[in-house]
Chains A and B, each alone.
Chain A
Amino acid sequence: GENVEQHPSTLSVQEGDSAVIKCTYSDSASNYFPWYKQELGKRPQLIIDIRSNVGEKKDQRIAVTLNKTAKHFSLHITETQPEDSAVYFCAASRREGLTFGGGTRLMVKP
């Protein structure tokens, strides 16, 4: 089955700086790679996703890149704000349920 590794597990940045979270996956057949933001006790919120036929996608301050050959994908958040503080999860899937990475706790210091 699929295995997703996520790094770092915690990330602390100053407000306005950029944050980068990286994930690797094992199943070359995976074709859908979403990123979720989860606040304590709440459901995961989809913030951006990328599909295997695309190498990069951007939505305002958030961007995701995908390297299918190396089987890794990354989340980039620019101009971080305190409200970006949360736990972020990457995931990968083909047709089945999602396999999540271990999560990254992002702390943005004002």
Chain B
Amino acid sequence: GAVVSQHPSRVICKSGTSVKIECRSLDFQATTMFWYRQFPKQSLMLMATSNEGSKATYEQGVEKDKFLINHASLTLSTLTVTSAHPEDSSFYICSARDWTGSYNEQFFGPGTRLTVL
């Protein structure tokens, strides 16, 4: 299956700092990547859809100025959490879509655990 990597796997930062998370598709080109957030013991929630060469589409309730997404190439999308606060502490997971016909099969990265002190 397709491989998606994510970096870093874990980050601890002070309140007010910005954190950048990278998501890469290693063996396929992904015109679309997705960013999810998962709080402890909860489900995954879609934050935004990242499209190569265009602006990201954010889900309702997700602040686009706080969660900056850049999909600079067909294999890389980045999520920057700006001015992070303790409530932003979460598990952030990206996925990349490898189209199989018209269906939406996605491959997930290993996730990034963000802890904001």
The answer to whether A binds B is: yes
Those of A28-67 within 8 Å (CB) of chain B: 31-32, 34, 41-44, 46, 49, 51
Categorize the interface residue count of chain B: 20 to 34
Is A43's CB under 8 angstroms from B93's CB?
A: yes
Those of B37-62 within 8 Å (CB) of chain A: 42-46, 49, 59-60
Is B109's CB under 8 angstroms from A43's CB?
A: yes
Beyond A43-B93, A89-B43, A103-B43, whether A98 also contacts B104 by CB under 8 A is yes
Contact of A100 among B45, B60, B104 (CB under 8 A): B45
Beyond A96-B49, A97-B49, A98-B34, whether A44 also contacts B104 by CB under 8 A is no
Q: Bound complex: CA of A88 vs CA of B100, how far in Å?
A: 23
CB neighbours (8 Å) of A96 from chain B are: 46, 49, 104
Number of A-B contacts (CB under 8 A): 55
For the complex formed, measure the closest distance between the CB of B61 and the CB atoms of chain A, giving whole angstroms.
11
Interface centre among B43, B60, B110, B111 (most CB of A within 10 A): B43
Those of B4-37 within 8 Å (CB) of chain A: 34, 36
CB neighbours (8 Å) of A46 from chain B are: 105
Chain B, residues 57-94, CB within 8 Å of chain A (1/0): the string is 00110000000000000000000000000000001010
Is B110's CB under 8 angstroms from A31's CB?
A: no
Beyond A32-B103, A51-B103, whether A99 also contacts B46 by CB under 8 A is yes
For the complex formed, measure the closest distance between the CB of A42 and the CB atoms of chain B, giving whole angstroms.
7
A74 at interface, CB cutoff 8 A: no
CB neighbours (8 Å) of A42 from chain B are: 110-111
15 contacts between A and B (CB under 8 A): A31-B102, A31-B104, A32-B103, A41-B113, A43-B93, A43-B110, A51-B103, A93-B104, A96-B46, A96-B49, A96-B104, A98-B44, A98-B104, A98-B106, A99-B46
Q: Hey, which bits of chain A sit against chain B, CB under 8 A?
A: 1, 31-32, 34, 41-44, 46, 49, 51, 89, 93-103
